[in-house]
Structure 1
Amino acid sequence: MALVPAHAATHRATPYGPHTRAPRKAPRPRFPRLRADGDGETQHSNFDVSVAVVGAGPVGLLTALALARRGFRKVRVLDRLPEPERPDAPCWGDPDRSYNLGLGGRGQRALMRFGAFDTVDHYSRTVVGRKDWSNGEAKVTLNKRRFMTKVIARDRLSSCLYQELQEKHPEVEVQFSTECTSVDFSQARARLELQRCGVPKDVQGLAQEESCDILNEAPSEMEVDLVLGCDGIRSAVRGALQAAGARVEQTRFQDRRPIVYRVLAIPTGKEDSTELNYSVRKDNVIVEALPNVEGDLLGVVLFRPTDERIEGLKSGAEAKKVFEELFPEWPTPMITDEEWDNFAARKTRQLPRFAYAGPELNLGGKCCLLGDAIHSVKPFFGLGLNSGFEDISVLDQCLGECDAELSKALPLYTRRRAPEAKCLVRCQRRFDQATDLAFALAFVLPIVLDSIFRKLLPSVFAPGLLALFQDGELSFTTAERRKRRDRILQAMIICGVLSLLGAGAFLSLRTVARLLWRCLSPPVHGWLHHELM
């Protein structure tokens, strides 16, 4: 393997604390029911396989952890952003530093499978329900899920997984501030071109995700046996696979209802629960606020890009006035004037578009894609990162079933995950409708029907599709088939009830008509006889 220059930012083991947790073992499950405790501790003799994981976000770092647990000893993770702060750093409540996300059943199972759940859970806040002001007065709804959502800042999650690697697998190298500019698959081993980069001085916080200044240095190269593309929606590895002849086409969908967002820090009062998702919406402006482990809320304000009430803000006082008019019942007075000024000055950011890749996700045994590189969804239902973590569990399972033989494991991974990625994106896009009526028919009506039939016949009908997706017990395709069956049964029952009601109404009308005829026929006959005579 050709190494990068000695001055590159390569970080080896510097543990934050002692290793105190013992790995757990359990029988290997079969797809699609991926249990929490997989066979990730199983060691193989495939130590000489060198791996480059492109992307050191949560998916990339958990992928490296999964490979290390399986016995791969030559793993290097590459990322263009700088090294994250430690998980216990005081910066994570800053809305200009990172945003919160929720880990559901799929994500938590993956973290348990690879022994990283305890660390992530320590820096997460468990959310047990939501508090909603959308109808004026606050309404609290508690969840009944098996896996309560774990809320953590996205970059803090990366920091936790980075700590896990440093503590447990110091042989794994994580190289920050390094851009993978190209990948060549034409030779026996993949060749990556790397370029050192830095963040512009005038760009901070969330904007770092879109900023990387290439430094004026000669590029370096490295050769590896396996490349794993965990580099997000605009994946460079996916482009390299296409150039190499793989059928990795990305299908992107236009937004039916474009929505943008800004972040907002929201303190909590003494009486406020820090285990709830706070929500309020009015006139196409939505605020969703999730708690940090420290107890404050980090809110996302969603609005139309043409909404000048938010987009045209000039000052914090103006922002405060807009929110007081929109949400008079919502506790906006807790937000400081300084934070209102920051909110008015913040950049408006775009939500990702719905997209999926396929039908191939790999190139023989040389490369495969995971996470947002194969499926991109809007973050309304918390399935983007969670499905990315599930990708890693499936890849690990395929490696176990094929005894880490890449030429068999990666095509098997494609056969299992490509249909899942397509199903996830297409099903979630159904909820993204252009009009309120279309949204009600596509989203609200199915929820109402599922709730009614679930209460009437719980042994026959499953929960709603979204609940099945979030729980993670079934694969996306299996959940969709299950709900399609439920829809057919529901339609049959509704048609049967309507038919019975129609038949009953017809019989009732006929009976009433006969009674009327019997009652009225003598006078009518007499009148006719009189008139005719």
Structure 2
Amino acid sequence: MTADGDRVAIVGAGLAGCLLAVLLGRRGIPVTVYERRPDPRVAGAERGRSINLAISARGLAALEQVGLRERALRRALPMHGRMVHPKGGEPNFQPYSADRARAINSIGRAELNRFLLDTAEATPGVRLRFGERVTGVDAEAGAVLLEDAAPEPAGVVLAGDGAFSAVRRSLRLEHDDADFLEHAYKELTVPPRNGDFALDPDALHIWPRGTSMMIALPNLDRSFTCTLFWPRSDFAALRSPREITAYFAEHYPDVAGLMPGLVDDYERNPVGSLVTVRCEPWVRRGAGAAVALLGDAAHAIVPFFGQGANCAFEDCIEIDRCLDETGGDWARALTLYQERRKPNTDAIAEMALDNFVEMRDRVSSPVYRAKQAAQHALERRLAGRYVSRYELVSFSTMPYARIPARIRRQNLALGGAVLGAGAALGLALRAALRARR
């Protein structure tokens, strides 16, 4: 399309929008990126809106494509497992992998976004336009609609403008569902203590409390970003500094004293929503433009498997791959992109919701810990043949949609082997008894 002078527009200069701009720019495709915010490298990140990222195999594979893998890892902290803080008990460390060697990587969203913005800005053919609020797209006219300016022409519009996407709303899709959890989130901070980490920096810390939880991820400045995941009504229940400090002293006693700014953070930081977006189709073709959704605009998921950014990065890589396979035919490439990615994003959305229950309820259970130890023992004994769901999601690039079936097959095979061994043991015992007679 660029041979005919058609413009490619990307809406949203977040993680996915920037990565896609770099990939397209390197193909020689001129791209304009519209972002409603001021340049975050100048204005800074919004207070209480970071939700640290856990970049794992999928995200690292995508960053490798644009030469940012090692740079990101240098600015990230590896977390080799969960540190679970049960109420009334001692913290216990639960490694993510059977060999205890694999880790997910804590990195600030704002910092990774800066890397990607810098790379996009340095890519020939990519233009970044900040303070430009896109209100929708007119696929028939082939135009991006702007809040305070005339529509601008675009032959391809790729919308990465988040879970509450203006582009998605303007398309009036046949199916567009946003399922909100009754839970919401709020961020707090554990600062360094005597110049060092106040908690173990090699772990993602979890305080499971049944219907709610708090997590903490380490930062390079030796602080921790904590996130409360509570029923929305619970946030309003604490009305005074005294109530806030008393509640945390009771429910999070081992960390409450490490948060000198607790009351200020609690009172000033916003309460954020947790939403799963399911919509289709992601692709709309009009007389003037082809439009496609990606990242949270197409499939926002809750953050409990740490896969939101990883999944969005995979969208970008898939679009780039489909352009290769179709010889740059945007219509065919975007159709193929949707066919391949939709089943995968549906699968990770369900796994993320299930992992919320695991993190807030199951991880503190002795039964869960015994099951996890048994899984790791099987992974060591049956290397490559038995792999846990967590490892397949976080430490492989197996398509998400194939993971549930893989887990079912290996569990059936394991169950059959156990039954077979039991039957063989029974036959041997009966034979032994007959021989004794």
Deviation at 1:502, TM superposition (A): 7.7
After superposition, give the CA deviation of every residue in 1:404-426 in whole Å (9 maximum; x if it has no partner): 22122222212211221222223
Which residue is 2:201 aligned to? 274
Which residue is 1:52 aligned to? 9
After superposition, give the CA deviation of every residue in 1:313-345 in whole Å (9 maximum; x if it has no partner): 2333432222221233x1332221x43233144
3-state SS, counterpart of residue 334 of structure 1: coil
After superposition, give the CA deviation of every residue in 1:14-51 in whole Å (9 maximum; x if it has no partner): xxxxxxxxxxxxxxxxxxxxxxxxxxxxxx98583411
Equivalent residues of 2:190, 2:226 under 8 A apart: yes
- Aligned partners of 2:369 and 2:334: how far apart in 1? 39
Structure 2 unmatched ranges of 5 or more: none
3-state SS, counterpart of residue 106 of structure 2: strand
Residue 415 in structure 1 maps to residue 368 in structure 2? no
Deviates more, 1:427-436 or 1:411-420: 427-436
- Aligned partners of 1:47 and 1:152: how far apart in 2? 41
Equivalent residues of 2:168, 2:297 under 8 A apart: yes
- Aligned partners of 1:101 and 1:495: how far apart in 2? 42
Q: In structure 2, what residue type is equivalent to 1:80? A: R
Residue 72 in structure 1 maps to residue 26 in structure 2? no
Deviation at 1:298, TM superposition (A): 0.8
Equivalent residues of 1:103, 1:151 under 8 A apart: yes
TM-score, length basis structure 1 = 0.70
Given the alignment, which residue of 237, 245, 266 partners 1:320?
245
Amino-acid identity (%): 25
Cα distance 1:379–1:344, how it changes in 2: closer, same or farther (>3 A)? Answer: same
- Aligned partners of 2:402 and 2:11: how far apart in 1? 31
After superposition, give the CA deviation of every residue in 1:124-160 in whole Å (9 maximum; x if it has no partner): 3333333332262233344447763232222332222
Deviation at 1:53, TM superposition (A): 0.3
Which residue is 2:139 aligned to? 185
Which residue is 1:426 aligned to? 350
Residue 476 in structure 1 maps to residue 400 in structure 2? yes
Alignment RMSD (CA, Å):
3.5
Residue 134 in structure 1 maps to residue 86 in structure 2? yes
Given the alignment, which residue of 163, 168, 174 partners 2:128?
174
Q: In structure 2, what residue type is equivalent to 1:418? A: K
Residue 224 in structure 1 maps to residue 179 in structure 2? no
Equivalent residues of 2:80, 2:202 under 8 A apart: yes
Residue 236 in structure 1 maps to residue 161 in structure 2? no
Q: In structure 2, what residue type is equivalent to 1:352? A: V
Deviation at 1:489, TM superposition (A): 1.4
- Aligned partners of 2:50 and 2:177: how far apart in 1? 28
Q: In structure 2, what residue type is equivalent to 1:282? A: R
Cα distance 1:424–1:132, how it changes in 2: closer, same or farther (>3 A)? Answer: closer
Which residue is 1:110 aligned to? 62
3-state SS, counterpart of residue 351 of structure 1: strand
Equivalent residues of 1:232, 1:373 under 8 A apart: yes
- Aligned partners of 2:37 and 2:393: how far apart in 1? 31
Cα distance 1:447–1:220, how it changes in 2: closer, same or farther (>3 A)? Answer: farther
Residue 165 in structure 1 maps to residue 120 in structure 2? yes
Pairs within 5 Å for 1:392-407: 392-407=316-331
Structure 1 unmatched ranges of 5 or more: 1-43, 197-218, 516-533
Which residue is 1:81 aligned to? 37
3-state SS, counterpart of residue 239 of structure 1: helix
Deviation at 1:80, TM superposition (A): 1.6
Which residue is 1:358 aligned to? 280
- Aligned partners of 1:459 and 1:182: how far apart in 2? 47
Equivalent residues of 2:305, 2:351 under 8 A apart: no
Pairs within 5 Å for 1:20-59: 46=3, 48-59=5-16
Structure whose CA Rg is larger: 1
After superposition, give the CA deviation of every residue in 1:225-277 in whole Å (9 maximum; x if it has no partner): 1100111222232334446xxxx63355564xx32221111023336443432
- Aligned partners of 1:271 and 1:358: how far apart in 2? 45
Equivalent residues of 1:110, 1:390 under 8 A apart: yes
Q: In structure 1, what residue type is equivalent to 2:145? A: E
Deviation at 1:459, TM superposition (A): 4.4
Deviates more, 1:108-117 or 1:46-55: 46-55
Residue 335 in structure 1 maps to residue 259 in structure 2? yes
Residue 262 in structure 1 maps to residue 149 in structure 2? no
Deviation at 1:100, TM superposition (A): 1.4
Cα distance 1:362–1:112, how it changes in 2: closer, same or farther (>3 A)? Answer: farther
Name the structure where helix makes up a greater proportion of residues: 2
Deviation at 1:450, TM superposition (A): 3.9
Q: In structure 2, what residue type is equivalent to 1:351? A: L
Deviates more, 1:493-502 or 1:467-476: 493-502
Given the alignment, which residue of 486, 489, 496 partners 2:413?
489
Cα distance 1:229–1:444, how it changes in 2: closer, same or farther (>3 A)? Answer: farther
After superposition, give the CA deviation of every residue in 1:490-514 in whole Å (9 maximum; x if it has no partner): 3323444566678899x69x99xxx
TM-score, length basis structure 2 = 0.84
Equivalent residues of 1:47, 1:72 under 8 A apart: no
- Aligned partners of 2:308 and 2:197: how far apart in 1? 33
- Aligned partners of 1:382 and 1:335: how far apart in 2? 24
After superposition, give the CA deviation of every residue in 1:365-413 in whole Å (9 maximum; x if it has no partner): 7122211122222101111111000110111111122222212222221
Equivalent residues of 1:315, 1:341 under 8 A apart: no
- Aligned partners of 1:262 and 1:451: how far apart in 2? 33
- Aligned partners of 2:103 and 2:381: how far apart in 1? 25
- Aligned partners of 1:123 and 1:293: how far apart in 2? 7
Task: Count residues with an aligned counterpart.
Answer: 424
Equivalent residues of 1:127, 1:149 under 8 A apart: yes
Deviation at 1:54, TM superposition (A): 0.9
- Aligned partners of 2:48 and 2:120: how far apart in 1? 26
- Aligned partners of 1:260 and 1:319: how far apart in 2? 17
Which residue is 2:391 aligned to? 467
Equivalent residues of 2:305, 2:355 under 8 A apart: no
Considering Cα pairs closer than 8 Å and 6+ residues apart, tell me whether 1 or 2 has the greater RCO: 2
3-state SS, counterpart of residue 278 of structure 2: strand
Which residue is 1:10 aligned to? none
Equivalent residues of 1:100, 1:153 under 8 A apart: yes
After superposition, give the CA deviation of every residue in 1:67-114 in whole Å (9 maximum; x if it has no partner): 1111112x111122221035xx9x66x853633111111111111101
Cα distance 1:283–1:45, how it changes in 2: closer, same or farther (>3 A)? Answer: closer
Cα distance 1:357–1:161, how it changes in 2: closer, same or farther (>3 A)? Answer: same
Which residue is 2:51 aligned to? 99
Q: In structure 2, what residue type is equivalent to 1:61? A: C
